[in-house]
């Protein structure tokens, strides 16, 4: 049989997403598209107050509405009354007190969303409004009554490193404010729960980042054995951290169990703003000491992260923030104080960049101040201090990762600047865009820099692992894992790995669910490393078994075999056989669990090897500003990113461009406005996301330096693109207008008033 060699989408190629075509055509089923026979709709009653005592809840009138099948409150939660990722401090339903605006109080199931809406309106809750703790500074210390039994301070961490008596020749200081950003995924929260016939279990289709963690928390609240809560990943429309915490999972499952009918819940856009955690707003103070040339000798800093009403991942976000104080620069001495606090503001947790975004905004502002103070430029000051492999962090941890910081800065600097604005530039290319607010002569251009370091994977001793199974049969591979595909492209990468390792062409992913071990969360830029490592490991085990089988048949030592293209070849002889032929009529299945190396907790001085590995990136922003009106147009972002090995160039570019758009949002427009605990702009009318007209030209270089610690030599690439682009854009605005700006997002009035 002669065969034409088909091009195989192995590692290193821009293999296309298996779900790409369906998504473009609108055929892809997101969780919100799911439907079940005899299904009810669920909806949530939420608190209108940021802080209040619940005096009474009366559901009598709501029960009487035709079509209402079930109403549940805290009293109906069969198991644990609270949940949470790190500490279980968040109620499934508020019972005695509500601690943030939008906190769930009850849920209903009914025949139609409109019936649900009417039922919610018919529930009477009597509140006694309490004083609102909205100032994070007041949450430190004893100035405000604890708003939660766990207290108002979620975590405090100090870092003391080196000889702290050192004083620099030059000292620069800054106070920085970072606003509350929303992940703003397009597919709002959604789940479909199907109760088991015996009422003792439930199957839940849900858009989530971490199936097994949801499963664990749900089982505890539902008082069911873990294996009776089976989760299946529904189509996910973006995540960015907002799907790490439980939102509607317990509510939907509880309603399904109570009614013995399938129940679907789905948040609208407004509810979504109240239904998930956001990026922590933070204030950061930093004081850099340096030599007269500009070499950093000491950094002092103080961070306050506003965690909102419940702990979520605030404790980990805080650690990420304080341990990245120095940025991608050498720093021998540091004194850092960090606080993550509880307030009556919306709960905050994971979002792309996870605490490092806040640190980076501050340390990059400082680097520019330092450059100005010693009379050098932003590029030279960063090159002079650039971190290298082997340097010690302020936690005492050596950076073992590849750390091409200086190279990233140089390569970014080599990218040509965009041409000047044409004299007759179209209004759409000017700040103000279609509003025609300016002419060419009103515009000034600025250039700014941002460079960052980001830890990848989980820290502080967490045993972080991922599981995958590879099954080879008749030349076809099926891969099974619980890795949430939230758009990052693991469903593209996993088959690429199988094709490379096993020489097959036909490789597909099985249903993503809890019928296999945990994959950990799709977060912390970890899945290519962790689940990639698991799939790679499983495929290698299958390959070993295949070599043994073929070796036995052919009387060749298996060790002599290798995969070449789509064939098994004897490296010491002439035997060749296609993998398809070799695997005809047999099935080989292997499961592999990939763990990353152990990390440590920090001691009371913030010392310890708490992180696994690091990724770096440099950004240079060119921005046009209308200084009089305070309007901005980001013209170009040049970037060089440390990626280890590129496994799929198109996927990497997608992460780079998307991350830059998200970082741009934080730089100039995206902010949840909270006044005394109340969210003022829970809609896409008023929470502004960048449009195509706001997105800059991106010129990206992927810097490939193989990461020996990583299973595939590849670092995670998801978070770095959004981290230092924000300070780069803000620096470019400062450069254009010659004025200090210490907050993001930058508002028009920050520029012109």
Binding footprint of other proteins on the chain (CB under 8 A): 117, 268, 270, 428, 431-439, 442, 628-631, 633, 668-669, 673, 675, 680-681, 685-686, 688, 690-691, 693-694, 747-749, 752-753
Cβ at position 269, least distance to other proteins in Å: 10
List, in sequence order, every residue forming a beta bridge with 300; answer none if it has no partner.
287, 335
Residue 507 or 672: which CB sits closer to other proteins? 672
Alpha carbon distance 741, 710 (integer Å): 39
List, in sequence order, every residue forming a beta bridge with 641; answer none if it has no partner.
617, 702
Q: How many residues does the chain have?
A: 753
Residue 653 or 752: which CB sits closer to other proteins? 752
Residue 429 or 506: which CB sits closer to other proteins? 429
Cβ at position 685, least distance to other proteins in Å: 6
Cβ at position 22, least distance to other proteins in Å: 22
CB under 8 Å to 442, separation ≥6 — which residues? 626, 627, 628, 629
Cβ neighbours of 347 (radius 10 Å): 27
Residue 121 or 552: which CB sits closer to other proteins? 121
CB 30 within 8 A of CB 237: yes
Cβ at position 197, least distance to other proteins in Å: 37
Cβ at position 186, least distance to other proteins in Å: 15
Cβ at position 684, least distance to other proteins in Å: 9
Cα dihedral 458/463/464/466 (nearest 10): 180
Residue 135 or 270: which CB sits closer to other proteins? 270
CB 241 within 8 A of CB 311: no
Cβ at position 116, least distance to other proteins in Å: 12
Cβ at position 430, least distance to other proteins in Å: 9
Helices (H), 353-505: 356-374, 378-385, 405-414, 490-502
User: Token match 């198109």: residue?
Assistant: 650
Cβ at position 429, least distance to other proteins in Å: 9
Half-sphere exposure of 705 (CA within 13 A, CB side): 16
Closest CA to 514 of 205, 753, 287: 205
Cα dihedral 268/274/279/283 (nearest 10): 140
Alpha carbon distance 53, 56 (integer Å): 9
Tokens of 203: 């199957």
CB under 8 Å to 208, separation ≥6 — which residues? 214, 231, 233, 236, 239, 243, 249, 484
Closest CA to 139 of 119, 126, 156: 156
Residue 432 or 532: which CB sits closer to other proteins? 432
CB 315 within 8 A of CB 339: no
Question: If you write DSSP's letter for every residue of 491-548 in order, what string do you get?
Answer: HHHHHHHHHHHH--SEEEE---BSSS-----S-TT-HHHHHHHHHHHHHHHHHHHHHH
Cβ at position 424, least distance to other proteins in Å: 13
CA angle 127, 130, 134 (to 5 degrees): 130
Residue 61 or 428: which CB sits closer to other proteins? 428
Residue 35 or 680: which CB sits closer to other proteins? 680
Cβ at position 193, least distance to other proteins in Å: 25
Residue 429 or 581: which CB sits closer to other proteins? 429
Cβ at position 624, least distance to other proteins in Å: 11
Residue 239 or 669: which CB sits closer to other proteins? 669
Residue 103 or 271: which CB sits closer to other proteins? 271
CB under 8 Å to 148, separation ≥6 — which residues? 89, 99, 309, 310, 342
Residue 164 or 675: which CB sits closer to other proteins? 675
Tokens of 231: 């989760």
């Amino acid at each position: 049989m002669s065969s034409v060699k088909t091009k195989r989408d192995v590692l290193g190629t821009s293999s296309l997403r298996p779900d790409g075509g369906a998504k473009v055509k609108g055929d892809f089923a997101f969780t919100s598209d799911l439907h079940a026979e005899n299904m009810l709709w669920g909806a949530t009653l939420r608190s209108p107050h940021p802080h209040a005592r619940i005096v009474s809840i009366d559901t009598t009138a709501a029960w009487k509405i035709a079509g209402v099948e079930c109403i549940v409150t805290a009293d109906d939660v069969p198991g644990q009354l609270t949940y949470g990722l790190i500490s279980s401090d968040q109620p499934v339903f508020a019972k005695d007190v509500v601690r943030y605006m939008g906190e769930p109080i009850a849920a209903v199931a009914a025949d139609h969303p409109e019936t649900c809406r009417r039922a919610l309106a018919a529930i009477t809750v009597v509140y006694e409004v309490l004083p609102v703790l909205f100032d994070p500074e007041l949450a430190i210390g004893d100035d405000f009554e604890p708003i939660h039994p766990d207290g108002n301070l979620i975590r405090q961490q100090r870092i003391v490193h080196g000889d702290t008596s050192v004083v620099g020749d030059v000292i620069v200081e800054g106070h920085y404010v970072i606003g509350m950003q929303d992940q703003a995924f397009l597919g709002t929260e959604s789940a479909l729960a199907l109760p088991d016939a015996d009422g003792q279990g439930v199957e839940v289709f849900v858009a989530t980042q971490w199936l097994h963690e949801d499963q664990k928390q749900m089982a505890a609240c539902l008082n069911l054995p873990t294996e009776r809560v089976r989760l299946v990943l529904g189509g996910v429309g973006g995540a960015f951290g907002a799907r790490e915490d439980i939102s509607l999972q317990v509510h939907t499952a509880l309603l399904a169990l109570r009614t013995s009918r399938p129940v679907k819940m789905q948040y609208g856009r407004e509810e979504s703003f109240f239904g998930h955690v956001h990026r922590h707003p933070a204030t950061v103070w930093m004081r850099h000491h340096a030599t007269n040339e500009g070499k950093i000798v000491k950094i002092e800093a103080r961070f306050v992260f506003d965690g909102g009403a419940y702990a979520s991942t605030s404790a980990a976000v805080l650690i990420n923030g304080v341990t990245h104080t120095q940025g991608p620069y050498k720093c021998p001495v540091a004194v850092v104080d960090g606080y993550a606090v509880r307030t009556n503001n919306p709960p905050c947790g994971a979002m792309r960049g996870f605490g490092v975004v806040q640190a980076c905004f501050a340390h990059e502002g400082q680097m520019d101040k330092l450059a100005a103070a010693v009379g050098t430029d932003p590029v030279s000051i960063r090159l002079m201090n650039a971190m290298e492999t082997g340097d010690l962090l302020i936690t005492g941890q050596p950076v073992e990762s590849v750390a091409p910081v200086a190279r990233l800065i140089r390569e970014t600097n080599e990218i040509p600047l965009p041409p000047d604005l044409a004299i007759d530039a179209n209004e759409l290319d000017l700040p103000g865009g279609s509003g025609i607010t300016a002419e060419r002569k009103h515009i000034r251009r600025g250039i700014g820099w941002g460079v960052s370091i980001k830890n990848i994977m989980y820290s502080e001793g967490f045993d972080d692992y991922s599981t995958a199974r590879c099954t080879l049969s008749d030349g076809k591979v099926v891969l099974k894992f619980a890795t949430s595909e939230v758009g990052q492209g693991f469903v593209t990468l996993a088959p690429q790995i199988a094709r490379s390792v096993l020489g097959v062409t036909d490789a597909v992913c099985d249903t993503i669910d809890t019928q296999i071990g945990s994959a950990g969360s799709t977060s912390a830029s970890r899945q290519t490393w962790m689940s990639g490592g698991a799939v790679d490991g499983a495929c290698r085990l299958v390959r070993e078994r295949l070599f043994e089988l073929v070796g036995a048949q052919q009387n060749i030592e298996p060790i002599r075999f290798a995969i070449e293209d789509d064939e098994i070849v004897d490296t010491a002889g002439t035997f060749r056989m296609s993998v398809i032929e070799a695997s005809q009529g047999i099935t080989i299945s292997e499961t592999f669990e990939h763990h990353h190396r152990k990390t440590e907790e920090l001691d009371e001085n913030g010392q310890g090897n708490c992180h696994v590995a690091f990724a770096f990136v440099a950004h240079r922003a060119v921005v046009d500003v209308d200084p009089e009106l305070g309007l901005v147009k980001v013209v170009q972002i040049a970037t060089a990113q440390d990626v280890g090995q590129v496994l799929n160039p198109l996927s990497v570019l997608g992460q780079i461009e998307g991350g830059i758009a998200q970082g741009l949002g934080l730089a100039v427009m995206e902010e949840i406005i909270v006044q005394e605990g109340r969210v003022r702009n829970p809609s896409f009318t008023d929470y502004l996301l960048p449009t195509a007209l706001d997105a800059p030209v991106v010129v990206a270089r992927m810097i490939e330096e193989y990461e020996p610690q990583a299973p595939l030599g590849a670092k995670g690439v998801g978070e770095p693109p959004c981290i230092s682009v924000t300070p780069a854009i803000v620096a470019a605005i400062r450069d254009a207008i010659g004025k200090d700006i210490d907050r993001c997002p930058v508002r028009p009035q920050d520029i012109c008033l």
